[in-house]
Amino acid sequence: MPSDSTRSARLAVVALGAASALVSTAFVLVLVLRLDALFFTLAEPLFSAPHPPHAMSDDTRMAQCILWGLFGGWGVAMAWAFARVPTVAIREVSRATMAGLAVWYVLDSGGCLLSNAPGNAALNTVYMVAITIPLVRLMRREA
């Protein structure tokens, strides 16, 4: 990682990307090991109405694994890119990342609100604010 004025903002993006990958890995392990009760215990606060633990269908488990896998992969890609991209390209990489995050945020949070899961939309908002702060710093960097 370059040791210049972009270092602290890059480290923030790398840390959030790595954390995303680790959380995603943990959730996929819970799903693969069929620890449905634990999954629903962790997910319960995200919903407005009670979602008591129950056996998850294989289709739901597969969809959850795909979604968590995508989120984990996105986190690794962000961490890798921001650790390695040359400083001269950091503004454009930050803009592209921000555009992708905006699409994710609108689709994921909108879907959560429509499916009675405002807690997940709130977590999305916390994540979006946390990642937007360093990205905006990098986008505003002088060329």
pLDDT on residue 135: 96
Average pLDDT over residues 123-135: 96
Average pLDDT over residues 75-82: 95
> Mean pLDDT of all residues in the chain?
90
| Lowest mean pLDDT, pick from 57-61, 99-103, 104-108, 125-129 | 57-61
More confident residue, 54 or 119: 119
Average pLDDT over residues 23-38: 90
The answer to whether residues 117 and 47 touch, using CB atoms and an 8 Å cutoff, is yes
Q: Which residues contact 8 (CB under 8 A, 6 or more apart)?
A: 134
Average pLDDT over residues 32-48: 82
The answer to whether the Cα torsion of 99, 97, 16, 37 is positive or negative is positive
More confident residue, 126 or 4: 126
pLDDT on residue 57: 87
Confidence label for 14 from pLDDT (cuts 50, 70 and 90): very high
H/E stretch holding 88 reads: none
Q: Kindly tell me if the per-residue pLDDT of 91 is higher than 80.
A: yes
**Residue 133 corresponds to which tokens in the numbers above?**
């702060």
Average pLDDT over residues 32-46: 83
Share of the chain above pLDDT 90, in %: 66
